[in-house]
Chain A
Amino acid sequence: MKIAVIGQSLFGQEVYCHLRKEGYEVVGVFTVPDKNGKADPLGLEAEKDGVPVFKFPRWREKGQALPDVVAKYQALGAELNVLPFCSQFIPMEVRATYEGIQKKETAKINWEQPAEAIHNWIRGNDKVPGAWTEACGQKLTFFNSMLNTAGLVPEGEALPIPGAHRPGVVTKAGLILFGNDDRMLLVKNIQLEDGKMIPASHFFRGEDSSALELTEAELVTMEAVRSAWKRILPNVLEVEDSTDFFKSGAASVDVVRLVEEVKELCDGVELENEDVYMATTFKDFIQLLVRKLRGDDKESECIIDYVEMTVNKLTLRMPHQLFIGGTFVDAEGAKTYETINPTDGSVICQVSLAQVSDVDKAVAAAKDAFENGLWGKISARDRGRLLYRLADLMEQHQEELATIEALDAGAVYTLALKTHVGMSIQTFRYFAGWCDKIQGSTIPINQARPNRNLTLTRKEPIGVCGIVIPWNYPLMMLSWKTAACLAAGNTVVIKPAQVTPLTALKFAELTLKAGIPKGVINILPGSGSLVGQRLSDHPDVRKIGFTGSTEVGKHIMKSCALSNVKKVSLELGGKSPLIIFADCDLSKAVQMGMSSVFFNKGENCIAAGRLFIEDSIHDQFVQKVVEEVKKMKIGNPLDRDTNHGPQNHQAHLRKLIEYCQRGVKEGATLVCGGNQVPRPGFFFEPTVFTDVEDHMFIAKEESFGPVMVISRFADGDMDTVLSRANATEFGLASGVFTRDIGKALYVSDKLEAGTVFINTYNKTDVAAPFGGFKQSGFGKDLGEAALNEYLRVKTVTFEY
């Protein structure tokens, strides 16, 4: 066989000698020019044998093959090129034409065989001549086949292939083909009949995605940008279409410089650091820039089908579909359900109801975004900037978000503005600042003498996380978990409560506006039994963060264990004790005691579930509370003077009525309330029970509604009241009112709860960790501690 050797170095020489020894005819040797008068060993050896030696400094210029070089090569008539240690770019034109191995016409794919055989056929014909098939009216040649398709979902546009068992599917990962055994293989590249090679995933992009033809003016701009690249990348001899900004040694400071230079060059075109990360080669960068300059870069902007509504002097625009991979889509089978306004029981709109297959799609999107997307490539600081921007956007839309919360969850608007939405914004800001401060440790370990060791720990994101949240603070609970999860660098699939999906979907829209890469956040309204269950079971989800009932929490933990030992954190129910001592500031205790129970209609996981009042002030306390309850304004949550809105949904209201009936039946004294308010919607009266004894149902079980449960304790009997307060399987929060420093510290030490409030209540803060003891769950939201719930520690040990 006639062989051309293209290469250099001692290794090249060795290969050359070996080929000759095996009896092959080396028709020519191409090697590098002499350096400092010294010839390369490969050339030297060939010259000894009288083999023609060529020393071209390059084979092409500005992307074009040099004709004289190609002519010299072709004159040799080589059938095969051998390239040992070849450091030069060899153009396509320099291709050996040995046809003895495979001829194109014999490389046609036979579809009547299993996937593995097809894969082997494509692989065997890879490079030359390429395995092909007839499809879409032309000859398509497939390259770069993979049999390992684990985790791939055949979702995409069908590519019909005559003779194939099933049509191919063009996905983001490439073209999926099927064998007659129904198993899949993946092809990464397709060569079209005209010889053009494209990524298989781009097959259907058509003309639209093909390169723009640049105008004269744009060509001038291109050359100006090219020289900017040259200035920034001094090590690159020539900036070609394929030159990659980062592979040429650019650092983040160079990104800023490029962005600024191009902005100045192009009169302040809107260009951001992320754009450079998205289009790293010169060609892609120019294409992106020209699109921006022409103003047609908006193609990616998602078209959202909004439900529009004018309420609260605002026009609400509410997305109502599933949010998967950065787009709003219908659920499988276009399934929907109604979401209800608890103030009057009316239907707000139809919302897509996610199915199991939708969960799989969302998880695949999140997985792809985690493994291949921009999210994992941008720096921690840039991740933080995106989260800050998201917080800013949430702030810009705070009235809209608070109004949606009032409609969908019955949240009192003024409270929603401050708490539901206000704290959500603060949470994202707080965690945005953490992104580039997630530090591991360097640890002194015992040295393996005579060598030495170095041990580092790195805190890494876990991967795809599932977050399942409740209906009491729909946006805030989403934010508490999602902000920490994203700050740590994970991607996420969120299931909002089925009864309160709308702020989550509005949030989804804002993440698009903030520029959070597609697939990082996916939101699926739906039922716990389908969506929550599938997330807990899913093999690609590595962590579940859940807030909800203890019963469901246990079920989730079990599913997490059985599926793939997912990491899990649970923030569950509570029956938080509030102990009020006689030496307290009584008016403050009454005011805080009221909000400990009635805040957010009692739909508050840290609500004081039991109040223990010291005997000597008990009657006075009850009297004052009753006076205050009478002053509460029950009404439409959108009215600014309302301080008590409707319960979240009808089933919850029914449970509250039963809860109070049971309290009365077991002998507690109903001081006020206990009934539904006689008006439309799901309103429940603020309720006060006294003489509650420890054995009663209402002393033990959470109401999750506006029900104050008061028990008394003997004057000075601190230890008994402590043991009564701790006699519960819950341990979320607790409170104490006293002026005595000794008592306050003693009680805070003895209370078995994740949070102890002293002379205050409900005072949570984004910087302070929050989470329960005992059956109230484990794992913290908020504060630095929350980050650890979404990180895994890797220990790296070196020896040197």
Chain B
Amino acid sequence: MATTNGAVENGPPDKKPPALPRPIRNLEVKFTKVFINNEWHESTSGKKFATYNPSTLEQICEVEEGDKPDVDKAVEAAHAAFQRGSPWRRLDALNRGRLLHQLADLVERDRAVLATLETMDTGKPFLHAFFIDLEGCIKTLRYFAGWADKIQGRTIPTDDNVVCFTRHEPIGVCGAITPWNFPLLMLVWKLAPALCCGNTIVVKPAEQTPLTALYLGSLIKEVGFPPGVVNIVPGFGPTVGAAMSSHPRISKIAFTGSIEVGKLVKEAASRSNLKRVTLELGGKNPCIVCADADLDLAVECAHQGIFFNQGQCCTAASRVFVEEQVYPEFVRRSVERARKRPVGDPFDARTEHGPQIDQNQFDKILALIESGKKEGARLECGGSAMEDRGLFVKPTVFSEVTDTMRIAKEEIFGPVQPILKFKTIEEVIRRANSLEYGLTAAVFTKNLDKALKLASALESGTVWINCYNAIYAQAPFGGFKMSGNGRELGEYALSEYTEVKTVTIKLDDKDP
């Protein structure tokens, strides 16, 4: 492997751009079992389930299917690892950070393997997996690694002769239930802050995409996290997910997924032990294009905003509001761009667009496309599955969409771009805010006043101005309204994984 250290001795570095990373062909899947106490277990029931490549519809392998008894075992391990005096609890904060840094090193080492696994399991383009998902994982791990020894409480002046300070302590056993659209990234968003704060964790990856999570288990072990700190139980929502949400010894649960399941998680959490809950749920995110915007930029961002990851993003730009003066031009260029989107084999470096995740999603998307046609939206392009292949849906653009249509109200989670028209800023603010979702919003304008006004008026956890999907490990992410509770990433995430303890020490009033 080339190192940068030799650059000086070997003359100026090669001017050629580095070769594109290559997927690992014929990758053998090594880790398919339940991961508890740094060991691999068969499921208690002996059951297994298959995971498929959505691009070819072929089975990749079978994975041990966890259930409640496996969750109990995992929680027991996590609980034991969290006990006072355990190796994990005795570890200095600095060294906790080092372990996370080392984990990032191993993820970086095995980046191509993980990206290949992710592409096999999700159907997303390999280069996206490599450059976006894995990049995000590594940066997030390193970011929180740096926080570990900076989780500070406060010393507080009070009215009486006391010393009063707070300690920010880990909560205990945390649960993480993660989705299939960014399987490893969404897991790392939860795992990194949880471990950085000193918690232990039980993870349920989505049943469609368990492979990268299990591979990460092997890296956890290799790095040398004490046994029980991280436990991974593959399985289904109604069994593993439900057992975790209602488990009396899990003190905190983080979920990314649909609003419907989010409600179940929160309900189970309150019925069981009032565990702390963070939810990152769906969105129907407005993308507002003002007439004064740089139209090329707006078209490209809106296009990537909706079609990235086959439309399977909670941040998808699924309501594009365009000011009427530029509406026809915007639609024309958007259609042109959608038609050019390269659809195909996710392992092909030219591919931008792969298959949907499974038949359910595929059917749901096509049904919504049909509703759009029926309710009077104008289908500009796409509008159907690719004739020759299983789960591929053509990039689809609808114009003349109105607020009452289903495609303007419901989360599609597919490659469907509904374009709406607006006249005034006040009107678009009202319409953008009219739904119960509030995850992200985007604004395209060159005007300073409009940008700042919209940034403050839009009811969403994130507002992007002249950009899209600009997500950074340092900046908090989460929803307003029914798009979720709590925040992931950034310093804010730490407060989701710590309890605050107030310590008050009375001083002797008598003279010393």
Give A370-413 as 1s and 0s: 1 = Cβ < 8 Å from B's Cβ atoms.
Answer: 00000000011110000000000000000000000000000000
Cβ-defined contact, B448 with A441, below 8 A: no
Cβ-defined contact, A444 with B151, below 8 A: yes
| B446 shortest CB reach to chain A, Å | 6
Inter-chain CA distance A447–B165, complex, in Å, is 19
Cβ-defined contact, A456 with B159, below 8 A: no
A729 interface hit (Cβ, 8 Å) = no
Cβ-defined contact, A447 with B92, below 8 A: yes
Q: Chain B residues near A249 (CB, 8 Å)?
A: 509
Give A56-72 as 1s and 0s: 1 = Cβ < 8 Å from B's Cβ atoms.
Answer: 00000000000000000
Inter-chain CA distance A446–B90, complex, in Å, is 10
Kindly identify, within residues 147 to 200 of chain B, every residue whose CB is under 8 Å from any CB belonging to chain A: 149-161, 163, 165-168
A10 interface hit (Cβ, 8 Å) = no
One of B151, B157, B160, B448 near A758 (C-beta < 8 A): B448
Cβ-defined contact, A252 with B448, below 8 A: no
Cβ-defined contact, B167 with A739, below 8 A: no
| B444 shortest CB reach to chain A, Å | 11
Give A606-634 as 1s and 0s: 1 = Cβ < 8 Å from B's Cβ atoms.
Answer: 00000000000000000000000000000
A440 interface hit (Cβ, 8 Å) = yes
Q: Chain A residues near B388 (CB, 8 Å)?
A: none
- The stretch of A218-226, A504-512, A708-716, A740-748 that contacts the partner chain: A740-748
Cβ-defined contact, B165 with A456, below 8 A: yes
One of B157, B165, B466 near A442 (C-beta < 8 A): B165
Cβ-defined contact, A442 with B154, below 8 A: yes
Q: Which residue of A lies closest to B466 (CB)?
A: A741
| A229 shortest CB reach to chain B, Å | 15
Q: Which residue of A lies closest to B465 (CB)?
A: A741
Inter-chain CA distance A475–B163, complex, in Å, is 37
Question: B155, B156, B509 — which one has the most chain A CB atoms within 10 A of its CB?
Answer: B155
One of B154, B161, B445 near A441 (C-beta < 8 A): B154
One of A248, A381, A439, A739 near B155 (C-beta < 8 A): A439
B127 interface hit (Cβ, 8 Å) = no
Inter-chain CA distance A248–B508, complex, in Å, is 10
Q: Which residue of A lies closest to B149 (CB)?
A: A444
Cβ-defined contact, B153 with A446, below 8 A: no
Are A442 and B155 also in contact (CB < 8 A) when A251-B160, A252-B160 are?
Answer: yes
Cβ-defined contact, B446 with A741, below 8 A: yes
A701 interface hit (Cβ, 8 Å) = no
A550 interface hit (Cβ, 8 Å) = no
Cβ-defined contact, B159 with A381, below 8 A: yes
One of B152, B160, B447 near A739 (C-beta < 8 A): B447
Give A432-467 as 1s and 0s: 1 = Cβ < 8 Å from B's Cβ atoms.
Answer: 000111111111111101000000111100000000
Q: Chain B residues near A252 (CB, 8 Å)?
A: 159-160
Inter-chain CA distance A770–B7, complex, in Å, is 46
Kindly identify, within residues 449 to 491 of chain B, every residue whose CB is under 8 Å from any CB belonging to chain A: 449, 451, 465-466
Inter-chain CA distance A251–B508, complex, in Å, is 11
Cβ-defined contact, A246 with B509, below 8 A: yes
Give B89-106 as 1s and 0s: 1 = Cβ < 8 Å from A's Cβ atoms.
Answer: 010111000000000000
A247 interface hit (Cβ, 8 Å) = yes
B510 interface hit (Cβ, 8 Å) = yes
B511 interface hit (Cβ, 8 Å) = yes
| B366 shortest CB reach to chain A, Å | 40
Are A739 and B449 also in contact (CB < 8 A) when A246-B509, A252-B159, A442-B155 are?
Answer: yes
Cβ-defined contact, A446 with B92, below 8 A: yes
Q: Which residue of A lies closest to B294 (CB)?
A: A742
Cβ-defined contact, A440 with B154, below 8 A: yes
Q: Chain B residues near A741 (CB, 8 Å)?
A: 445-448, 451, 465-466
Cβ-defined contact, B159 with A442, below 8 A: no
Q: How many A-B residue pairs have CB under 8 A?
A: 88
Interface residue tally for chain B (C-beta within 8 Å): 33
One of B150, B156, B448 near A738 (C-beta < 8 A): B448
Q: Chain B residues near A758 (CB, 8 Å)?
A: 448
Inter-chain CA distance A739–B165, complex, in Å, is 48
Q: Which residue of A lies closest to B167 (CB)?
A: A442
One of A248, A253, A379, A441 near B153 (C-beta < 8 A): A441
| B471 shortest CB reach to chain A, Å | 20
One of B155, B166, B510 near A458 (C-beta < 8 A): B155
Are A457 and B157 also in contact (CB < 8 A) when A738-B448, A744-B448 are?
Answer: no
| A412 shortest CB reach to chain B, Å | 31
Q: Chain A residues near B509 (CB, 8 Å)?
A: 246-250
Inter-chain CA distance A435–B159, complex, in Å, is 11
Q: Chain B residues near A446 (CB, 8 Å)?
A: 92-94
Inter-chain CA distance A382–B163, complex, in Å, is 17
Cβ-defined contact, B446 with A439, below 8 A: no
| B160 shortest CB reach to chain A, Å | 5
Kindly identify, within residues 571 to 585 of chain A, every residue whose CB is under 8 Å from any CB belonging to chain B: none
A110 interface hit (Cβ, 8 Å) = no
A759 interface hit (Cβ, 8 Å) = yes
Kindly identify, within residues 671 to 709 of chain A, every residue whose CB is under 8 Å from any CB belonging to chain B: none
Q: Which residue of A lies closest to B91 (CB)?
A: A447
Q: Chain B residues near A247 (CB, 8 Å)?
A: 509-511
Q: Chain A residues near B465 (CB, 8 Å)?
A: 741
Cβ-defined contact, B152 with A443, below 8 A: yes
Are A379 and B155 also in contact (CB < 8 A) when A741-B448, A741-B451 are?
Answer: no
Q: Chain A residues near B451 (CB, 8 Å)?
A: 741
Q: Chain A residues near B166 (CB, 8 Å)?
A: 442
Inter-chain CA distance A431–B177, complex, in Å, is 45
Q: Chain B residues near A739 (CB, 8 Å)?
A: 447-449
Q: Chain A residues near B446 (CB, 8 Å)?
A: 740-742
Inter-chain CA distance A741–B149, complex, in Å, is 38
Inter-chain CA distance A380–B510, complex, in Å, is 21
| A504 shortest CB reach to chain B, Å | 29
| A240 shortest CB reach to chain B, Å | 16
Q: Which residue of B lies closest to A256 (CB)?
A: B159
Question: A247, A253, A741 — which one has the most chain B CB atoms within 10 A of its CB?
Answer: A741
Q: Chain A residues near B449 (CB, 8 Å)?
A: 739
Q: Chain B residues near A251 (CB, 8 Å)?
A: 159-161
Kindly identify, within residues 732 to 783 of chain A, every residue whose CB is under 8 Å from any CB belonging to chain B: 738-742, 744, 758-759
| A254 shortest CB reach to chain B, Å | 10
Question: A435, A456, A457 — which one has the most chain B CB atoms within 10 A of its CB?
Answer: A456
Q: Chain B residues near A457 (CB, 8 Å)?
A: 155
Inter-chain CA distance A719–B94, complex, in Å, is 44
Inter-chain CA distance A459–B445, complex, in Å, is 45
Cβ-defined contact, A740 with B155, below 8 A: no
Inter-chain CA distance A248–B510, complex, in Å, is 8
Cβ-defined contact, A379 with B156, below 8 A: no
Q: Which residue of A lies closest to B449 (CB)?
A: A739
Q: Chain B residues near A443 (CB, 8 Å)?
A: 152
| A581 shortest CB reach to chain B, Å | 11
Q: Which residue of B lies closest to A252 (CB)?
A: B159
Cβ-defined contact, A379 with B157, below 8 A: yes
Q: Which residue of A lies closest to B447 (CB)?
A: A739
Q: Which residue of A lies closest to B503 (CB)?
A: A442
| B291 shortest CB reach to chain A, Å | 14
Q: Chain A residues near B151 (CB, 8 Å)?
A: 444
Q: Which residue of B lies closest to A382 (CB)?
A: B159
Inter-chain CA distance A438–B154, complex, in Å, is 10
Inter-chain CA distance A442–B502, complex, in Å, is 11
Q: Which residue of B lies closest to A446 (CB)?
A: B92
Inter-chain CA distance A311–B153, complex, in Å, is 55
Given contacts A251-B161, A739-B448, 15 further A-B contacts (CB under 8 A): A248-B509, A379-B158, A439-B155, A440-B165, A441-B153, A441-B155, A442-B152, A442-B155, A444-B149, A445-B92, A445-B93, A740-B447, A741-B448, A741-B466, A759-B448
11 residue pairs bridging A and B, Cβ less than 8 Å apart:
A246-B509, A247-B509, A249-B509, A252-B160, A253-B159, A380-B158, A440-B165, A441-B155, A444-B149, A444-B151, A741-B465
Interface residues of B (CB under 8 A from A): 90, 92-94, 149-161, 163, 165-168, 445-449, 451, 465-466, 509-511
Q: Which 3 A-B pairs have the closest CB atoms?
A: A442-B153, A440-B155, A444-B93
Interface residues of A (CB under 8 A from B): 246-253, 379-382, 435-447, 449, 456-459, 738-742, 744, 758-759
